[in-house]
Every structure is written in C-alpha cells, then in structure tokens.
Amino acid sequence: MAVQELIGRLARDHWLTEKEYEMLLTCRFPEVSRQLRILADRERRRFCGTRVFLRGVVEVSSICENDCLLCPRRKSSDHCERYRLRPREILDLCDESWVQELDTVVLRTGYDTFYTDRMLCALLDKLRLRLPGCALTLATGERRRTGYEALYNSGADRYLLLEETTDRERYEQLHPAPMSWNRRLHCLSVLKDIGYQTGCGFLVGVPGQTAAELARELKFLEDFQPHSVDLVQMNTDEALTDDLISMIRLMLPEALITAPENRAGAVLAGANVLSLSLTQEQESAPRCGGCRAVTPATPQSIARLAREMSDIGFEIDRGPGDRNG
C-alpha cells in the first residue's frame, strides 16, 4: 500500500497496524511530512479550531529517589541542584498562575516520598478553593491505587505519567531496579480506571531507538487512548518529533498534545498545548511528568507567545482545553 494511502486511512479511521506505522516512519520524505501536517492540522481545527492552550507548571521538587539513566535529576547525579518546595511555597506559586489566568496548573515532581498522599490531598483541598474552575494536574510519579483515589477525590482532575517506552528491554536498560515496566503500565491503567484525564507519552531520540520501537509506542497510544500526550525530545531531530506529533493528532483528534520546547513547528504539526514555568528551574530533563516548561509565566512571555502563535495563524487560550470544550 502506498504511503499516501496509509496517511489517508490514518486520518479517516484513526488507526493503523504496527507494521503500517513502522512503514510511515521509514518513509519520511518531505512530501510525506507535508501530507501528515496538512491532515493533522485539519483534524486539530475540526476539534479545537486554532486555539493553543496554556498550562502553568510548578516544579515542586528536584529530589528523586529513582536512578533513571537519562534523567539529570536521578538520585546519583552530582550535577543537579536539589530543592524541595513546601506547601506554602506551592500555594504562592499557584496564586501567581491565577493572576495570569491560566486555567491549567501542573504540580510536577520526581519520585519524592516526602510528598505523602495526605500532604498532597491537603494541598489540593486548598487549591480547589483558591482556583475554582482550574484543571488541577498532578505529575508525581508512581503511587498506590489508594493514593491515586485519594488525590482524585481531593480535586485532582488530570494525571500525567509517561510510560517513556513500551519496550520492556529498553525500559529495564534505562530504569534500574527496583523500577518496574509492569508497574508503570499498571499505574497508567489504574489512573484511567479511576476517572482521571490521563496523560502519557514517550521518549524520542533515545540512542539506538528504531522505527519499529517508535511504531510500538504509537500503537500503545492508539490502544490506550490517553487524554493528553507529551513527547520528550532527546536529540535535535525536530522533524522526527513533528512527524510523530502529526501521526498522534491523526490517531487522537481530540487529544491535548504538548509542543516540546513550545516550538512553533510542533504546533504546525498538530500540537495544541504550550507549557509555562511557574518556577525558575530550567533543565533539559526527561521525566515521568512530561516535557519541561522552558517559558516563564509572565505577562511579557505570554504576550510574546501570543504574537508567535498569531504569526502562524493560531491564538493562545488560557482555558483548560477539555475535550469538546
């Protein structure tokens, strides 16, 4: 089957076989990328028009008890400045997001057991009162089902947890024991079962990564049907990342897809979310909570993003960007 026919079928039916995804990824010619972007843009406009949603990200802690090999926050790293925000500091930063009228706030941390379920529930109770109508998102790693349920009942709307890779062997290469590939995928299933708007995503550009591996990642997203997707770009091949974003948009027309580094090219490829940092940390860290937020949440930076989006035919939207809304 011709590649153009595969792209048309993906746009129409929103699925392909794993082998067909691999074929698309091995035939990445300029005309193929162009067709992907045209159809992805059509799908995105059909479901959310030309809106690009903003989310404010609070980097709660740089302390992590895991030792994931590609993460500069890993516990064995000597090159990470360690800090941990107290609940009072988190509330103050979230108040700033309300000043900027950002209706999505993400609390993100590595695996730091200092933040117990009880502590986060108390924080969510306060945030729900301070930020009515705001989509409260957590990216605080793997937890027990009882913890996820308690956080959901305290007001968390969304949870972002990257699978990073659905290849067991690759996962075990990147994540030393006691981390578990089975547990990561189980946590994603639990989050969706509880009722969270669940976000996931994978690493792009891992050394040795093949088209077959990326095809498996796409098939996982197709089967799992997440509400949002973050791709963590590990190298400088932006064209590959953008082709993947276009495929994901055709597969998941209504999803929230984050533009890595807030790149305009990623938005043109089908992304519809930009991340703003409510903290000052600026590190190129892949992590289980998704893409880093490289743009500070200030009136000036938001105005600049608005101009950049306007230049390519889009407008920023401070709302939560829920499906069909």
pLDDT at 290: 64
pLDDT at 281: 55
pLDDT at 282: 47
Asked whether the whole model's pTM tops 0.85, one would answer yes
Q: Which residues contact 262 (CB under 8 A, 6 or more apart)?
A: 274, 275, 294, 295, 305
pLDDT at 50: 96
pLDDT at 322: 80
Residues 316 and 264: beta-carbon distance below 8 Å: no
Q: What is the pLDDT along the chain (325 residues), one digit of tens a residue?
A: 689 999 999 999 999 999 999 999 999 899 999 999 999 999 999 998 999 999 999 999 887 777 777 777 766 677 778 889 999 999 998 888 777 889 999 999 888 888 999 999 999 999 999 999 899 999 999 999 999 999 999 999 999 999 999 999 999 988 888 889 999 999 999 999 999 999 999 999 999 999 999 999 999 999 999 999 999 998 889 999 999 999 999 999 999 999 999 999 999 999 999 999 998 654 544 455 666 667 888 899 999 999 999 999 999 999 998 854 3
Cβ burial of 112 (10 Å; 0-12, 13-18, 19+) is middle
Superfamily of domain 3-317: Aldolase class I (3.20.20.70)
Residues 24 and 40: beta-carbon distance below 8 Å: no
Cβ burial of 227 (10 Å; 0-12, 13-18, 19+) is buried
Residues 314 and 308: beta-carbon distance below 8 Å: no
pLDDT at 75: 64
What number of CA atoms fall less than 13 Å from residue 316's CA on the CB side?
A: 24
Residue ranges of domains in the chain: 3-317
pLDDT at 66: 77
